[in-house]
Chains A and B, each alone.
Chain A
């Protein structure tokens, strides 16, 4: 499937900040099942954009602006060709042993209720267990963009019973790690098969490490494994490690941010 992504982030400040620094994890890498045809980051102000790599192998760009500005628009555009790999991510950059992904973080720490969830879905076969877990999470949670924010932990979201894709992923990761299955957070984009192109945010899901198979993507918010609809951008221990933008600014106030994502299919192609 050939997917075209356009991800626009616009900041408006009532009092312009003196300077601003951001780390962008917005650039995907090619691996089996995903091939980047073209990709670029565009910024509408004069800025420094320095490319490097974080410890997990994600491509990062450090954006610095050293002058006051009232608005800032970041546009990320690209074309990606994807294939179905039955959910398995092969040939990706792996900088660490999978066991590193058993590590707990504040956002993905298991609450007693999540431990119960993990215990209730134990299966002899890890892959079955992960599927079961995904179904259980999706069964209880309702998708609601207003009940949680970026600071909501897995435990809080599970107790609320509602949240966004990122909360679903945190709960999945926390529960998988309870059963000693290495799991990690993945951010990216999702092409919706129902034809809705414009979205207000990127997407997030989880990956679990299964012996003999490797990393397998589970998307609890959609209740599916990794499909050709997913574009995988960054991964990490939790949201904070894989967030598209993290930043700080000096002075300034009244920041408002709007995000516009469009994920559509480019001209149809025949696969032979």
Chain B
């Protein structure tokens, strides 16, 4: 396979996953914004989705107030924002076109249909006039459906060869990054210093976030008790049965990289790094993570995950 094709396959999945995550973070912010002020939130719920998708700085350069409409437009439609949902879908479609023959018809159609629908919504929308809550919900559901459609098409129709593996690695690398950011933003931004971990506000925030990443029911199935922050950590970091957990993402990344290594009869730094990250996640105990500090743990993880993308680029997508 051409290095360029591998790279495009990787990025198609990554962009789609990113669009899905942005939609879910907007959803989380909408839920957080409806929490009564009496619980002690300090009203920065509209900063949190920006921080979670990693473009708070860019936003602050352009806008000076963070209200629902500005943030929503910035995250959903802004062409200046490289990871707005609109740009993610556009980039995914561009990458998909470049590897059109490596994708199945269903995969291509899911992306193309998503792009056409998005363009229609964009052209009919009046930026001055905020979307109603129902319109926003409908839009977010539409974005979440794109990733389901695309993923399902890939899972059901693609040949299990290197094209599929690169595609999946893109998805899981992005997903791991997203989960790590949720954890970080939750304690570094959302929860005011004066609030205790495990307190009322912490509880409501976690419930809202878990629900928006479709993990609340999973949480109750696994733990059978009320939402406790340390158990949420466990769920999102170390539970291999939770598809969004860091461990689960790295299990998949390591596996697909193994398959690629076997297929090409050659392996290198990215395989080694993925395995080492996976082993660290599996083997460290919850106490160790808390002792080191959650923020340090998450920051380390995010930087390893970025390093993995860099190594993949060096090893498989040299230009």
Contacts and interface: CB of A to CB of B under 8 A. Distances in A.
Q: Are A and B interaction partners?
A: yes
Contacts of B315: 272
The size bracket of the interface on B is 10 to 19
B283 interface: yes
Interface in A91-110: 91-93, 95
A29 B268 contact: no
B283 A92 contact: yes
Interface of A: 29-32, 35, 37, 81, 83, 91-93, 95, 267, 269-272
Contacts of A269: 261-262, 265-267
Contact of A272 (B267, B278, B280, B285): B267
B256 to A, nearest CB: 12
B283 A29 contact: yes
A51 to B, nearest CB: 13
Given A35-B254, A37-B258, A83-B272, A91 B265 contact: no
Interface in B256-292: 258, 261-262, 265-269, 272, 275-276, 278-280, 282-283, 285
Given A92-B283, A93-B283, A30 B268 contact: no
Contact of B275 (A35, A92, A271): A35
A92 B285 CA distance: 11
26 contacts: A29-B279, A29-B282, A30-B275, A30-B283, A31-B279, A31-B283, A32-B279, A35-B254, A35-B275, A81-B258, A83-B272, A91-B276, A91-B279, A91-B283, A92-B283, A93-B283, A95-B285, A269-B265, A269-B266, A269-B267, A270-B265, A270-B267, A271-B268, A272-B266, A272-B269, A272-B315
A30 B280 CA distance: 9
A30 B274 CA distance: 12
Contacts of A31: 279, 283
Contacts of B272: 83
Contacts of B269: 272
Nearest to A83: B272
**SS class, residues of chain B in contact with chain A:** helix
B225 to A, nearest CB: 22
Interface of B: 254, 258, 261-262, 265-269, 272, 275-276, 278-280, 282-283, 285, 315
Contacts, number: 42
Contact of B268 (A32, A37, A81, A272): A272
A83 to B, nearest CB: 7
**SS class, residues of chain A in contact with chain B:** loop
A267 B275 contact: no
Contacts of B279: 29-32, 35, 91
A32 B285 CA distance: 16
Q: A-B pairs with the 4 shortest C-beta distances? A: A272-B268, A35-B275, A30-B279, A93-B283
A37 to B, nearest CB: 6
A29 to B, nearest CB: 7
Given A83-B272, A270-B265, 4 more contacts: A29-B279, A30-B275, A35-B275, A269-B265
Contacts of B265: 267, 269-270
Contacts of A81: 258, 275
A30 B275 CA distance: 8
A270 B276 contact: no
Contacts of B254: 35
A32 B277 CA distance: 9
A154 B278 CA distance: 37
Contacts of A83: 272
A49 B276 CA distance: 29
A187 B279 CA distance: 20
A254 B157 CA distance: 55
A30 B279 CA distance: 6
Nearest to B280: A91
B265 to A, nearest CB: 6
B41 to A, nearest CB: 39
A133 to B, nearest CB: 28
A32 B268 CA distance: 15
A31 B272 CA distance: 11
